[in-house]
Structure 1
Amino acid sequence: MGYADGKFRHESLQDRKTIKSLLEALTKGISKGELTLGEGDDELVLPVDGLMTLRLKADRSDGQCKVDMRISWSEQQEKPAKSAAPTVK
């Protein structure tokens, strides 16, 4: 199954209830194996499968709070290179 390449970017001011709903939608998309991100008529569909890398960062400085979350994965899962068994003597 092929998907078109593309980018999706969005930034807006939202309340915590809306942010919670968006995070729940991301969770559901990951669970079903496909994320669909869109705005207006534009959509980007991302297949989700295999192992994923999660990066979390949080900062609080001078009354400003920030949490960054990044999830990344490869569409084609490469089989890990088979390594030789360790030697024990």
Structure 2
Amino acid sequence: MKTDGKFRHESLQSRKTIKALLESITKGLGKGELTLSDEDGAITLEPDGLLTLRIRAERAEGNCRLDLRVTWSEDADPPKSKGAPKIS
């Protein structure tokens, strides 16, 4: 039985560190198991099947933001698909 839980983390990091973290996330997605942890807690997720990807980006008054969200359901019908975005 899988247990429910939450993991949240926010900190200042270099581009190099964030790139390494994103690479770890892609590896975890590839193998179907993501474990996220810091000094406050940990969670393990098991992504499988079709996943929903949401990408948002904005620039306003000198502040920039990029949000990446990947969601899936452990036991529901697959989500509707739009196709892959183009990123360069």
TM-score by length of 2: 0.82
Largest Rg, 1 or 2: 1
Aligned length, in residue pairs:
79
Q: Secondary structure at the match of 2:26?
A: helix
Counting only pairs closer than 5 Å after superposition, residues 1-89 of structure 1 correspond to structure 2 as 2-40=1-39, 42-78=41-77
Structure 1 stretches of 4+ with a deviation exceeding 4 A read none
Q: Residues of 2 paired with 1:25 and 1:74: CA distance?
A: 21
Q: Residues of 1 paired with 2:22 and 2:31: CA distance?
A: 14
TM-score by length of 1: 0.81
Q: Residues of 2 paired with 1:26 and 1:40: CA distance?
A: 19
Structure 1 unaligned residues grouped into runs of 5+: 81-89
Q: Residues of 1 paired with 2:31 and 2:11: CA distance?
A: 26
Q: Percent identity?
A: 57
Range with bigger deviation, 69-78 or 19-28? 69-78
What are the Cα deviations for residues 54-76 of structure 1, in whole angstroms up to 9, with x where unaligned? 10000011111100111000112
Structure 2 unaligned residues grouped into runs of 5+: 80-88
